[in-house]
């Protein structure tokens, strides 16, 4: 049975609205996805019926909220094939990477090497630059090919006796490239390196099993996964989390505190100082529950069909440059229009109710790799339709006419 995008759309209240007198065509899900009613209602229910602070409380509301919060952790752990004690709630993928980088940085020495790729999001670049500035570590960059694929042979050549960390995107937020994570992880481990994967894009479009990947750390955000903002998850192998020092200090992350000494809680609570994002975690759990109830293979096929439809209709458009066409890529179309700045393209598309992203997409090294100052990006999600794909192509063609 074909995936029924229209039925799914009915679960997203915002998709019923109009923008500039046109039906909203939301093609910015790679930046942040819209929220289904199941997520909205879960958060509202928590606020209206059983909200209190989590842990340590002995009254009914505290117990109910703690159960819901820790229940969300169990749902997210099951979603990625992990154990609950291996899942740390963070503000998002960015904080998760910062947490790992800060912890690993305590034992890195000058000259130690960290391998990244040219396609990384700034969230998986800047925290490692901090260590370059503060610890004297060396950043090494795996190149990508002209079609946007990681050069695996060049990556392997970068690995050596000083490689301590390999930090890579599982799926590029600009190119849609899906990296061979299992193969890259194996290579990195053979070199003795710790591996972190930025899964913020990949986990939305494909099932992820962190045990099968054998990755040491895996990070992702709630808001791209149809959940709320301000919440994300860090998966870490139990022994890897246990080896990290606390990232922040405060309540919840302690064992005991005195004037003379302090002990720390075991992971994951060691890394969740202060009152956590309780409602957001509950909403995150609801999003994972909702998505788990759908046929994810059918979703991926649906998204790919939309992308292929757009590419076919734009075939021969000599005014268009597409960034990244690696085999097996996800449904992300980043592009430039001859003679037009990406910001202008996005603003004109908005007149037709089409929402796309424009700019560097927090990936300036990648933009330089392709000789661009910016690009526009249309990203397809499970709630997009063939009619919307056609509306995007029609609007883009009209937009190009402004600049010809």
99: CB partners within 8 A, 6+ apart:
88, 90, 234, 244, 247, 271
Number of CB atoms found within 10 A of residue 265's CB: 16
230: CB partners within 8 A, 6+ apart:
91, 92, 222, 223, 277, 280
> H or E stretch including 210?
helix 210-213
159: CB partners within 8 A, 6+ apart:
115, 166, 187, 188, 190, 191, 193
Q: Is 372 a catalytic residue?
A: no
Q: Rounded to whole angstroms, how far apart are CA atoms 249 and 252?
A: 9
CB 349 within 8 A of CB 356: yes
Which of 139, 152, 314, 362 is labelled catalytic? 362
Q: Rounded to whole angstroms, how far apart are CA atoms 166 and 192?
A: 10
How far CA 171 is from CA of 37, 328, 383, in Å, comes to 27, 11, 20
Query: What one-character-per-residue DSSP string does 297-350 give?
Result: HHHHHHHHHHHHHHHHHTTT-TTEEEE---TT--SEEEEEETT--HHHHHHHHH
H helix runs in 50-180, sequence order: 60-80, 93-105, 126-135, 152-158
> H or E stretch including 41?
helix 37-49
Kindly report the length of the chain.
404
114 backbone dihedrals φ, ψ, rounded to 5°:
-120, 125
Closest CA relative to residue 265, chosen from 56, 79, 107? 56
Closest CA relative to residue 373, chosen from 403, 331, 345? 345
DSSP 178: B
Q: Could you list the active site residues?
A: 362
């Amino acid at each position: 049975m074909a995936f029924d995008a229209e039925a799914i759309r009915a679960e997203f209240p915002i998709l019923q609205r109009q923008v500039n007198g046109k039906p909203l065509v939301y093609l910015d899900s790679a930046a942040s996805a819209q929220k289904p009613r199941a997520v909205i209602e879960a958060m509202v229910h928590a606020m209206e019926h059983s909200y209190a602070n989590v842990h340590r409380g002995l009254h009914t509301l505290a117990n109910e909220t703690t159960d819901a919060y820790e229940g969300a952790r169990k749902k997210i752990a099951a979603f990625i094939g992990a154990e609950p004690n291996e899942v740390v709630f963070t503000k998002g993928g960015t904080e998760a990477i910062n947490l790992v980088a800060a912890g690993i940085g305590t034992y890195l020495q000058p000259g130690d090497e960290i391998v990244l790729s040219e396609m990384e999001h700034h969230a998986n670049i800047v925290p490692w630059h901090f260590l370059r500035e503060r610890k004297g570590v060396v950043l090494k960059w795996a190149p990508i090919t002209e079609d946007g694929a990681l050069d695996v042979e060049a990556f392997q050549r970068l690995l050596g006796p000083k490689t301590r960390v390999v930090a890579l995107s599982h799926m590029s937020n600009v190119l849609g490239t899906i990296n061979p994570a299992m193969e890259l992880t194996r290579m990195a481990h053979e070199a003795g390196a710790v591996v972190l994967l930025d899964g913020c894009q990949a986990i939305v479009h494909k099932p992820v099993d962190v045990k099968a990947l054998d990755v040491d750390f895996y990070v992702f955000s709630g808001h791209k996964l149809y959940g709320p903002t301000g919440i994300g998850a860090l998966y870490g192998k139990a022994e890897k989390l246990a080896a990290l020092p606390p990232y922040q200090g405060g309540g919840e992350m302690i064992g005991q505190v005195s004037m003379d000494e302090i002990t720390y809680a075991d992971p994951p609570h060691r890394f969740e100082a202060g009152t956590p994002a309780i409602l957001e975690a509950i909403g995150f759990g609801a999003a994972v529950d909702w998505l788990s109830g759908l046929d994810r293979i059918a979703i991926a096929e649906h998204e790919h069909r939309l992308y292929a439809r757009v590419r076919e209709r734009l075939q021969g458009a000599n005014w268009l440059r597409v960034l990244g066409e690696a085999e097996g890529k996800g449904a992300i179309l980043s592009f430039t229009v001859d003679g037009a700045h990406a910001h202008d393209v996005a603003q004109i598309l908005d007149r037709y109710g089409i929402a796309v992203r424009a700019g560097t997409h927090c990936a300036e090294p990648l933009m330089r790799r392709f000789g661009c100052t910016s690009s526009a990006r249309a990203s397809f999600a499970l709630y997009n339709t063939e009619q919307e794909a056609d509306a995007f192509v029609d609007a883009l063609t009209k937009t190009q006419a402004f600049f010809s």
